[in-house]
A = this chain, B = another copy of it.
Amino acid sequence: MPTSRNLENRRVVLTARPIGIPQAAHFAFDTAAVPELDDGQILVRNRYLSVDPAMRGWVNAAANYAPSVPVGDVMRSFAAGDVIASASDLFRAGDLVSGMFGWQRYAVVAAPTARAVAHRDLPLSTSLGVLGVNGVTAYWGLLGVGQPKAGDTVVVSTAAGAVGSAVGQIARLKGCRVVGIAGGAEKARLCRDMFGFDAAIDYKADDFSAALDAACPQGVDVYFDNTSGAISDTVMSRLAMRSRVVVCGTASIASWEPWPGGPRVERHLLVKRARIEGFLLFDWMDRYDEAVRDLAAWVRSGQLRYREHVLKGFEQAPDAIAMLYRGENQGKLLIEID
């Protein structure tokens, strides 16, 4: 019977409930014993912790698609590591896994909640980004909900980010014309030069609206929305007939208390017979592996490129979500535990 060998677990716990974006002050480190494994559990040593925009929603009090992390609990997050002990037939020591392991050194989880990392030829960190939640979100959000057709104009916001850059590249692989919206000229350049977008626009520039018109002369057939807010409002007034808007995130909204307003969408939808639909990866978990297979093949062939911004050292975790919302990261934000 495997044991946890009296390991000491270093953890990041939520110490106060943030309104809006969680800051370093909302977290603290503690240590706790790693519990013995029950039947069916595995012990994972985390190597990489994921930092995702959705984590804001997991700690806010407002109703969300998942229960809020209780104050005092380990911060919820995706993570990847290796199995160091198993009381399950599903995994054995040495297997690589990813899952909702939390911001902690060691995680004891029910084996079926962990996902085997099959692509051992590729860096483990990719299982949290381009071959993980970000890539799979891009894949099913775009292909499952956005349903682009060859020749469509696809616009994506936070285009240089982990999800956005994958959305644009997948859309290109499907024969679409791809226009990215990103914050700053450097990120826009990256969309064009590294990720191969047909056009990319800095939404902070004065001529954003005119630049979007120029980049989308036939209007917008698919809008993959990671931001909400003024960026989305600008795109919504340029929808093409029968266009589809995938609402995947609301990164530009600092807080939903009080609830923010914006231009009404009904007339756009009516005139263009357009559709807006919310996308959440959890609804597509039964098709996760299908996406990872395609994504991994595209990474190996060089058709799908990605960037990672790896913070070295566990101590960087508490500020990491705030850093993400400050837009300081250059690619998928990860924490590598020594």
The answer to whether B263 touches A247 (Cβ under 8 A) is no
Is A278 in contact with chain B by the CB < 8 A criterion?
yes
Which of these binds chain B: A10-18, A93-101, A266-274? A266-274
Which of these binds chain B: A195-203, A253-261, A329-337? A253-261
Q: Report the copy number of this chain in the oligomer.
A: 2
Is A35 in contact with chain B by the CB < 8 A criterion?
no
From the candidates B260, B265, B279, name the one contacting A276 in the complex (CB within 8 A).
B265
From the candidates B228, B263, B267, name the one contacting A266 in the complex (CB within 8 A).
B228
The answer to whether A65 touches B278 (Cβ under 8 A) is no
Complex: A273 Cα to B275 Cα, angstroms? 13
Residues of B within 8 A of A210 (CB): none
The answer to whether A259 touches B270 (Cβ under 8 A) is no
Is A280 in contact with chain B by the CB < 8 A criterion?
yes
Complex: A186 Cα to B279 Cα, angstroms? 40
The answer to whether B280 touches A273 (Cβ under 8 A) is yes
Complex: A267 Cα to B253 Cα, angstroms? 10
The answer to whether B267 touches A264 (Cβ under 8 A) is no
Residues of B within 8 A of A65 (CB): 270-271, 273
The answer to whether A269 touches B264 (Cβ under 8 A) is no
CB nearest to A260 among chain B residues:
B264
Is A249 in contact with chain B by the CB < 8 A criterion?
yes
Is A225 in contact with chain B by the CB < 8 A criterion?
yes
From the candidates B264, B271, B274, B278, name the one contacting A270 in the complex (CB within 8 A).
B278
- In this complex, the member of A259, A261, A271 whose beta carbon has the largest number of chain B beta carbons within 10 angstroms is A271
Complex: A263 Cα to B278 Cα, angstroms? 16
From the candidates B225, B228, B253, B278, name the one contacting A273 in the complex (CB within 8 A).
B278
Residues of B within 8 A of A123 (CB): none
